[in-house]
Amino acid sequence: MSFKVVIDQEGCTQCGLCYSDECPEVFVEGPDGTSEIASKYQEGSPDNGNVPDDLKECVQKAVDVCPVSVISISS
Ligand code: SF4
């Protein structure tokens, strides 16, 4: 099973916590420092992903740590 992850990239402050610290398996640094979904999990665009359930804990940590709350999860 998998779940959906969306990054509101316009709100991302490029702090790097999601891709450098909490969940580099799923989040990567884009060209200008904005967070993107790793290419293997992307669905159509860099701000949209479909991620296997075994990475949910890691993504949830990124959701919790993001200082501007721009990462969201849905099933
Ligand atoms: S933690 Fe949030 S603000 Fe920081 S890089 Fe990731 S998405 Fe952007």
Instruction: Read off the CATH number of the domain in which 45 is found.
Output: 3.30.70.20
Q: Which helix (H) or strand (E) holds 63?
A: helix 56-65
pLDDT at 55: 98
User: Residue 47: pLDDT band by 50, 70, 90 thresholds?
Assistant: very high
Judged against a pLDDT cut of 90, whether residue 75 lies above it is answered with: no
Q: What is the value of pTM for the model shown?
A: 0.97
Number of independent structural domains in the chain: 1
Report the separation in Å between the CA atom of 31 and the middle of ligand 1, taken as the mean of its atom positions: 14
Q: Which residue is associated with the tokens 């290419």?
A: 39
Mean pLDDT for 3-21 is 98
Distance CA 23, CA 44 (A): 21
Query: What is the 19 CA–ligand 1 centroid distance (Å)?
Result: 8
Domain that holds residue 70: 2-74
Sequence-distant (6+) residues with CB within 8 A of 26 are 5, 37, 38, 41, 49, 51, 55, 58, 59, 62
Alpha-carbon gap, residue 24 to 1, rounded angstroms: 20
pLDDT tens per residue, range 24-38: 999 999 999 999 999
Please give the share of the chain, as a percent, with pLDDT higher than 90.
Answer: 99
What average pLDDT score do residues 44-60 get?
98
Instruction: Work out which ligand 1 atom sits closest to the CA atom of 27.
Output: 6
